[in-house]
Amino acid sequence: MKMTKFIHRSTQFSLQTKVFLTFLALLLFVLCCFLVYVNVVVIRPLKQKTVQDTLVTTTKVREQVDLYMDQQNQLSQRILSSKDIFATMDKSSSAHSDYERLKQIRKLKDIIFQAIGPSMNIKDMSIYDKQGILLTSYLGSGQPPVSIHTLLGDSKVGREWAGSGFVLVRQGDTISFVRTVNDQNGKVYGYLCIQMDQRVIQSFTEGISAGEVYILNQQGEQMTGIELGTQAMQWTKPQWEEGLEVDEHNNYITYSTSPSTGWVTYIVTPSKSVFGSIQKVQTISILLITALMLISFVYIYLSTRNLLLPIRKLRSQIWRINYSNLNLKVDDRPKNNDLLLLNEAFQDLMERLQQSIDREKTALHEEVKARNSALQAQIAPHFIHNVLYLISIAAQEGKTKVVSDMCKHLSESLRYIVSSPYAHVTLSEELEHTRHYLSLVQQKYEDDLEWDIDADLLAKEVRLPRLVIQPFVENCIEHAFCHTSPPWHIQITVKQYNGLWALEIRDNGDGFTPEKIQEILANIQQSRSGTTMINNQETGLGNMGIVNSVNRLKLMYSNRLFFNIFNNQGHGAKGATIQIIGSLTKDFY
């Protein structure tokens, strides 16, 4: 029998070992999922953003070059806007003597100076006649070609130029902006050539990217950038205005086409430069995951080793058993299985805790039930005493019908008071009892007392303790109208909205002094929300009636009840208002 118990315990430890191995596999799965998450959620979007930033950089370079070319176009427009430029060029082309030609050339320089001034971000500006022969150079430092046709013939774009708009050609380190000088009728008087330093355009591309920047025209001629190596790809005119490609050397090539010049800006960036930081993030993530896996392996190994230690002891005890010591005493409790022992202790603790909670709930319920009964017992005799006093007065005055009606109302009130005193009632039933009470009281005051009860149909859903509204009304009658001339009016209003119900009792009496309001609220506060009863038997304003009624409500609603008392405000307003707000749900605060 003992041998069977040993084997059973060994099987239990084997299952525990499997659980730890399963935990190890789950840990590996979680770490793999984390690696996939890093690659999908972090690395991939970061790569896309890096590629997009490279394309944006290309577009910025292209926009700067376009802006510079647009400045040269505006510069040429200022020259052509002069009204004397056409006549001067026409006279210089048809001059019969060198003196006359030189005179017209000087006028051309004056026109240029008046149009652009002395400061220019260019190398030089030249003007050619309609045969393409050089007339003058503004600065004389750009060494312009003698014939414009020679300049245009050296470039593919120049050979295809039809003389409309402007054309950009490169010759060495100079990029020339060439356009015709023509009037509104289209008559050509010559050519205007602005020589720009290629290094100025090259400066737009310096330090803006980790890769090499190249700018090519529509014919594939290189306009700026370092010379293309023999291993560089031969670019052609791209199909799209902007885009990204990867060449055979794993370089990322982003390009952007200018809509005004037709130039294509290329940025060739090695993949290491594009994704260098991303690869570092990926490497750090892999190293971190690897470190966590190694730490987890060591921790699980040590935990499993400690778990298997009781198994080794159990195995040694099994080996020690033989025919001579079969009576070896072995503790029947599974000391080595700490998880089972902990589970048994926890279950026992939960059972004892549940028993304690049940006993506490029962005791608290009985205590609340007894306290509520005591509070109601304080109010009911007080109410009956007052009504019987009114009936006796009516009987002494010989008002038989009044006594009969009052007895009927008293009978309904007594039936309401004594039937199921511990059960809660609806707000509608409580208002009906208040109507009987006010009908009894009105027999005494007749037309001097006016009352009105306004409640919606949803008042049937609100639950209240018995006799909580009548004491507030009684206080109005006994204390509010002492120094107020009739008619006396009592208004009871019940409304519901957004899961709350609100009860207001308003009168037109004397109102409360600030000290009295503070006294009433202090009495309610000192009663600790119904945990301490007010045993004072006096019926003065703010004593047993109001405080006990509020306490009974708080016994039922706890922190889901709000009570307030204040004097009526406004022009000509008199009296006071008692306000009670409760919640139909348990999440009022």
pTM for this prediction: 0.43
Residues of the chain with pLDDT under 50: 1-13, 15, 229-233, 323, 326, 328, 330-331, 336, 339, 529-542, 588-589
Q: Peptide bond preceding 487: is omega within 30 degrees of 0, i.e. cis?
A: yes
Give CA 138 to chain center in angstroms. 64
**Long-range CB contacts (within 8 A, 24+) of 357-361:** none
Two structure tokens written together for 164: 């409309």
Return the ∠ at Cα 122 (arms to 116 and 126), rounded to 5°. 70
Two structure tokens written together for 188: 């050509």
Could you tell me if 412 and 435 are in contact, meaning their C-beta atoms sit under 8 angstroms apart? no
Owner of token pair 């414009």: 148
C-alpha to C-alpha distances, 391 to 151, 380, 484, nearest whole angstrom: 129, 17, 25
Two structure tokens written together for 201: 């355009």
Task: Supply the DSSP symbol for 377.
Answer: H
Strands 222-224 and 212-216: antiparallel
CA distance 459 to 494: 7
pLDDT tens figures, 11-54: 444 545 665 567 667 767 777 777 677 677 666 777 777 778 88
Q: Peptide bond preceding 259: is omega within 30 degrees of 0, i.e. cis?
A: no
CA distance 437 to 128: 118
pLDDT tens figures, 331-363: 455 554 554 565 566 667 777 777 777 777 766
Could you tell me if 189 and 93 are in contact, meaning their C-beta atoms sit under 8 angstroms apart? yes
- What pLDDT score was predicted for residue 489? 93
- What pLDDT score was predicted for residue 92? 81
133 pairs with which residues across the strands? 147
CA distance 129 to 94: 10
Could you tell me if 258 and 60 are in contact, meaning their C-beta atoms sit under 8 angstroms apart? no
Main-chain phi, psi angles of 228, to 5 degrees: -70, 130
Strands 576-583 and 561-567: antiparallel
